[in-house]
Amino acid sequence: MIADLENSVWQAYKNNQTRSLRKLLYKTYYGLYADGIKTIDMEVADMAKTDLDRYSLADFNVEFPNANIAIITYKATQQATSGQQDVSGTYNCESVWAKKGENWVNVFHAEIKAR
């Protein structure tokens, strides 16, 4: 289930679906990347200037420290550009999901380009 939600975030980003992305990210979401720390508004702004041609997610590991928190780690391989920059490659990723009411939302995401 958490892996499916994570894939939904990527799919919304790929399809430039602002409303879908915002529904999956918590209002105080933070993303950690090589170019800095991003809020939900910054993620949406970056999505508008990103062309994510293809992606694949693999090697999922999901842990539940408690019934309302899930931590997922995985590898993401993407073919993409952001602005004028090629950001294609394989990344090591981690997301933290929290259950708020009946819904799971992404509260934190980090990506580090694999060497």
84 pLDDT exceeds 90? no
Q: Find residue 62's DSSP bridge partners.
A: 72
Of 110, 109, 108, 75, give the one whose Cα is nearest residue 89: 75
83 SS3 class: coil
Q: What is the pTM of this model?
A: 0.94
Tokens of 95: 């997301």
**pLDDT of 83:** 87
12 SS3 class: helix
Residue type, 67: A
Confidence of residue 5 (pLDDT cuts 50, 70, 90): very high
Interval 33-79: pLDDT, tens: 998 999 999 999 999 999 999 999 999 999 999 999 999 999 999 99
Share of the chain above pLDDT 70, in %: 100
- H-only helix segments in 15-104: 18-24, 40-48
